[in-house]
Structure 1
Amino acid sequence: MSSSVLQHVGNKDFTRSTVVIIGAGVSGICMAIDLLRRTPTRNFVILEKGSAVGGTWSDNRYPGSSCDVWGALYSFSFEQRSDWTREYPGQEELLAYLTGIAEQYGLYRYIRFNSTVKEARWDDDELLWKVQVAVAGAKDSQYQYGYELRTDFLVSAVGQLNVPSYPRIPGLDDFTGKMMHSARWDWGYCFEGKRVGVVGNGATAIQIVPELAKTASQVTVYQRTPNWIVPRLDQPISALQRFLLTYVPPLRVLKRVVLMRFKEWTHDATTNPDSRVAQRAKALAVSSMKSQLVDKPELWDTLIPSYPIGCRRIVPTDDYFHALNAKHVDLETCHIQRVTETGIETEDGAQRDFDLIVLATGFRTIEFLHPMRIYGANGCSLEHAWRDGATAYYGVTVEDLPNFGMFYGPNTNLGHNSIILMIEAQSRYLSTLIGAVVEAKQNNQSLALQPRSEVVREYNDRIQEQLQRSSFADPRCNSWYKLDNGRVTNNWPGTVVQYQTAMSQVRWTDYFAHGSGQATVEKKKPTYIGRVKEEMFVSNTTLTLGVVLAAGGFYFGSSRGWKW
Structure 2
Amino acid sequence: MAGRELRSIIIGAGMAGLLAAIRLKARGETDFTIYEKGDKVGGTWRENTYPGLACDTPAHSYTYSFAYNPDWSAYYAPGPEIREYFERVAREHGILEHIRFNTEVESAEWKDGQWHVRTRDGTEDHAEVLVAATGVLHHPLIADIPGLDTFERPWFHSARWDHSIPLDGKRIGVIGSGSTGVQIIAALSTRAGRLVHFQRTAQWIMPCPATKYSAEERRAFRENPALIDEVRSGPDAAARRARFQSAIIDANSPQLLEIQDIVERNLDESVKDPALKAKLTPNYRAACKRMIFSPDYYAAIQRPGVYLENGEIDRIMPKGVQMKDGTFHELDLLVMATGFRVDQFVRPMKVFGEDGLALDDFWAKGPRAYYAVTVPGFPNMVLLNGPTGPVGNFSLIDVAELQWNYFDQLLDRVRSGSATGVSPTLAALERYESERNEAARKTVFASGCKSWYLDANGIPQVWPWSWAHFTQVMEHPCLEDYHINTA
**Normalised by the shorter chain, which TM-score bucket?**
over 0.9
Give the corresponding residue for 2:167: 191
The counterpart of 2:53, out of the listed 65, 73, 76, is: 65
1:251–1:185 Cα change, 3 Å = same
- 1:515 corresponds to 2:486: yes
Secondary structure (helix, strand or coil) at the match of 1:161 reads coil
Instruction: Give 5+ residue unaligned stretches, structure 1.
Output: 1-16, 135-144, 517-564
Give, in angstroms, the shift of residue 446 of structure 1: 6.4
Pairing 1:101-500 to 2, within 5 Å after superposition? 101-123=89-111, 126-134=112-120, 145-258=121-234, 259-265=236-242, 266-294=244-272, 296-440=273-417, 447-474=420-447, 476-489=448-461, 491-500=462-471
- 1:47 corresponds to 2:51: no
Give, in angstroms, the shift of residue 298 of structure 1: 0.8
Secondary structure (helix, strand or coil) at the match of 2:53 reads coil
| Cα pair 2:413 2:419 within 8 Å, conserved | no
Give, in angstroms, the shift of residue 166 of structure 1: 0.9
Secondary structure (helix, strand or coil) at the match of 1:242 reads helix
| Cα pair 1:336 1:344 within 8 Å, conserved | yes
Cα distance in structure 2, aligned partners of 1:274 and 1:208: 33
| Cα pair 2:245 2:467 within 8 Å, conserved | no
With normalisation by structure 1, the TM-score equals 0.82
1:263–1:375 Cα change, 3 Å = farther
Secondary structure (helix, strand or coil) at the match of 1:209 reads helix
| Cα deviations by residue, 1:171-203 (Å, 9 ceiling, x for unpaired) | 221111010111111111111111111110100
| Cα pair 1:366 1:481 within 8 Å, conserved | no
Cα distance in structure 1, aligned partners of 2:226 and 2:376: 43
With normalisation by structure 2, the TM-score equals 0.95
The counterpart of 1:20, out of the listed 9, 17, 36, is: 9
Cα distance in structure 1, aligned partners of 2:270 and 2:163: 30
| Cα deviations by residue, 1:367-392 (Å, 9 ceiling, x for unpaired) | 22221111211212111111112111
The one-letter code matched in structure 2 to 1:298 is A
The one-letter code matched in structure 2 to 1:273 is A
Give, in angstroms, the shift of residue 432 of structure 1: 2.2
The one-letter code matched in structure 2 to 1:22 is I
The one-letter code matched in structure 1 to 2:278 is D
Any runs of at least 4 consecutive aligned residues in structure 1 with deviations exceeding 4 A, and if so which? none
Cα distance in structure 1, aligned partners of 2:326 and 2:414: 62
Cα distance in structure 1, aligned partners of 2:347 and 2:132: 11
Cα distance in structure 2, aligned partners of 1:371 and 1:192: 38
Which deviates more, 47-56 or 261-270?
Answer: 261-270
Q: CA RMSD in A?
A: 1.6
Cα distance in structure 1, aligned partners of 2:64 and 2:308: 39
Give, in angstroms, the shift of residue 33 of structure 1: 1.0
Give, in angstroms, the shift of residue 352 of structure 1: 1.4
The one-letter code matched in structure 1 to 2:144 is R
The counterpart of 2:26, out of the listed 25, 34, 37, is: 37
Flag the structure with larger Rg: 1
Cα distance in structure 2, aligned partners of 1:269 and 1:83: 32
The counterpart of 2:88, out of the listed 96, 100, 103, is: 100
| Cα pair 2:246 2:466 within 8 Å, conserved | no
| Cα pair 2:263 2:286 within 8 Å, conserved | no
| Cα pair 1:263 1:416 within 8 Å, conserved | no
1:263–1:35 Cα change, 3 Å = farther
Percentage identity across paired residues of the two chains:
33
Secondary structure (helix, strand or coil) at the match of 1:429 reads helix
Which deviates more, 162-171 or 493-502?
Answer: 493-502
| Cα deviations by residue, 1:119-144 (Å, 9 ceiling, x for unpaired) | 11222xx121221102xxxxxxxxxx
Cα distance in structure 1, aligned partners of 2:210 and 2:381: 39
Give the corresponding residue for 1:501: 472
| Cα deviations by residue, 1:11-62 (Å, 9 ceiling, x for unpaired) | xxxxxx8111100011001111111123x43111101100000111111110
Give, in angstroms, the shift of residue 414 of structure 1: 3.6
The one-letter code matched in structure 2 to 1:492 is W
